[in-house]
Structure 1
Amino acid sequence: MMAVSEVNLDDYSVYSHLSDEELVQIAVERSLCEKLHEDPLPSTVPFEPIGLDPDWRRPDPLRHRAYDPSSRPPPLDLPCVHQCVKPPNSLSQFLYEAPRSQLSPLQSLIINGDAAALMALVRQSFGGLMEPDNEGWIALHEASFYGQLQCLAILIKAYPDSVNRCTLKSQTALLLAAGRGNVSCVDFLLKNGASPNIFNKERETPLFAACENPSEDIVALLLRSGAQVNRCSLQGTSALHEACRHGQLKLCRLLLEAGGDLRIKNIYGIQSFFIAAQHGHTDIIKLLAGEGADINEQAGDGASPLFEACKNGHVCGVNALLILKADANLSMKSGLLPLHVAIQKKHSRIVSLLIPVTSRVRIQHSGISPLHIAAENNSDDIMELLIKSGFDVNSKLSEDRSKMYKDRRSTPLYFSVYNGNLQATKMLLEAGADPNLDVFNALLIAVQLGRMDMAVLLLKYGANVNAQISPQLSWFPAALLLKIESLPMFKLLLDNGCDAQPCFNCPYGQKSHPALSPALRPIEEMRHSREAPPPSCLHFCEAVSSSSFCLAAGPIISLLLDYVSHVCLCSRLLEVLESRSDWVDIRLKALPPHPLMQLCRLEIRRLVGVQRLKLICTLPLPTRLICFLNHNTTPHSPEVPLF
Structure 2
Amino acid sequence: MTEAPSVAAEVSRKRGAEPGPLTAHATERKKACWGILTSQGSWADRSPLHEAASQGRLLALRTLLAQRTLAFPDHVAANVTPVTVSITQEAKGYHANIVTIDHVTPLHEACLSGHVACVRALIHAGANVNAATIDGVTPLYNCCASGSVGCMELLLQNGAHTHTPHTHFPSALHEACKRGNSQCVESLLSHGADPDYEVSHLGSPLYVSCLHQHTACSKILLHRGASVNVGRGGDSPLHAAVRQDSADQVSVLLDNGADVNLRDSNNQRPVDLAPPGGKTQQLLMLFEVSPRSLSQLCRLQIRNLLGRSRLKLLPLLPLPSLLTYYLEHT
Are residues 1:262 and 2:203 paired?
no
- Supply the distance in 1 between the matched residues of 2:119 and 2:169 (Cα, whole angstroms): 25
Give the aligned residue type for 1:226. Answer: G
1:320 matched to which residue of 2? 252
- Supply the distance in 2 between the matched residues of 1:191 and 1:206 (Cα, whole angstroms): 15
SS of aligned partner of 2:33: coil
Q: What does 1:275-290 correspond to in 2, within 5 Å?
A: 275-290=208-223
Q: CA deviation at 1:277?
A: 2.2
TM-score by length of 2: 0.66
- Supply the distance in 2 between the matched residues of 1:58 and 1:177 (Cα, whole angstroms): 20
Q: What are the Cα deviations for residues 321-354 of structure 1, in whole angstroms up to 9, with x where unaligned? A: 11112111111111122122212xx571101111
1:307 matched to which residue of 2? 239
Are residues 1:273 and 2:242 paired?
no
SS of aligned partner of 1:162: coil
2:38 matched to which residue of 1? none
1:392 matched to which residue of 2? none
1:222 matched to which residue of 2? 155
Change in Cα spacing, 1:215 to 1:229, as seen in structure 2 (3 Å) is same
Q: 5+ unaligned residues in a row in structure 2: which ranges?
A: 3-16, 36-41, 70-93, 290-330
Give the aligned residue type for 1:173. Answer: P
1:152 matched to which residue of 2? 61
**What's the % identity of the aligned pairs?**
28
- Supply the distance in 2 between the matched residues of 1:311 and 1:232 (Cα, whole angstroms): 32
Give the aligned residue type for 1:65. Answer: C
1:66 matched to which residue of 2? 34
Q: What are the Cα deviations for residues 504-554 of structure 1, in whole angstroms up to 9, with x where unaligned? A: xxxxxxxxxxxxxxxxxxxxxxxxxxxxxxxxxxxxxxxxxxxxxxxxxxx
- Supply the distance in 2 between the matched residues of 1:137 and 1:193 (Cα, whole angstroms): 19
- Supply the distance in 1 between the matched residues of 2:213 and 2:124 (Cα, whole angstroms): 38
1:95 matched to which residue of 2? none
Q: CA deviation at 1:167?
A: 0.6
Q: CA deviation at 1:55?
A: 11
- Supply the distance in 1 between the matched residues of 2:101 and 2:237 (Cα, whole angstroms): 38
Q: CA deviation at 1:206?
A: 0.1
- Supply the distance in 1 between the matched residues of 2:66 and 2:24 (Cα, whole angstroms): 28
Please say if residues 165 and 172 of structure 1, whose CA atoms lie closer than 8 Å, have aligned partners that are also in contact: yes
- Supply the distance in 2 between the matched residues of 1:146 and 1:275 (Cα, whole angstroms): 31
Larger relative CO (CA 8 A, sep 6+): 1 or 2? 2
Q: CA deviation at 1:187?
A: 1.4
Are residues 1:351 and 2:281 paired?
yes
Q: What are the Cα deviations for residues 32-61 of structure 1, in whole angstroms up to 9, with x where unaligned? A: xxxxxxxxxxxxxxxx99636499999998
SS of aligned partner of 2:207: helix
Please say if residues 103 and 134 of structure 2, whose CA atoms lie closer than 8 Å, have aligned partners that are also in contact: yes
SS of aligned partner of 1:66: helix
Which of these residues, 140, 154, 157, is aligned with residue 49 of structure 2?
140
- Supply the distance in 2 between the matched residues of 1:278 and 1:325 (Cα, whole angstroms): 18
Give the aligned residue type for 1:320. Answer: V
Aligned pair count?
245
Q: CA RMSD in A?
A: 3.1
Please say if residues 339 and 358 of structure 1, whose CA atoms lie closer than 8 Å, have aligned partners that are also in contact: no
TM-score by length of 1: 0.35
Divergent runs of 4+, >6 A: 54-61
- Of the two, which has the highest radius of gyration? 1
Change in Cα spacing, 1:134 to 1:179, as seen in structure 2 (3 Å) is closer
Q: CA deviation at 1:263?
A: 2.1
Q: What does 1:355-394 correspond to in 2, within 5 Å?
A: 355-358=285-288
Q: CA deviation at 1:197?
A: 0.5
Please say if residues 167 and 198 of structure 2, whose CA atoms lie closer than 8 Å, have aligned partners that are also in contact: no
Which of these residues, 325, 336, 340, is aligned with residue 272 of structure 2?
340
1:176 matched to which residue of 2? 109
Q: 5+ unaligned residues in a row in structure 1: which ranges?
A: 1-8, 11-47, 68-132, 360-643
- Supply the distance in 2 between the matched residues of 1:275 and 1:50 (Cα, whole angstroms): 37
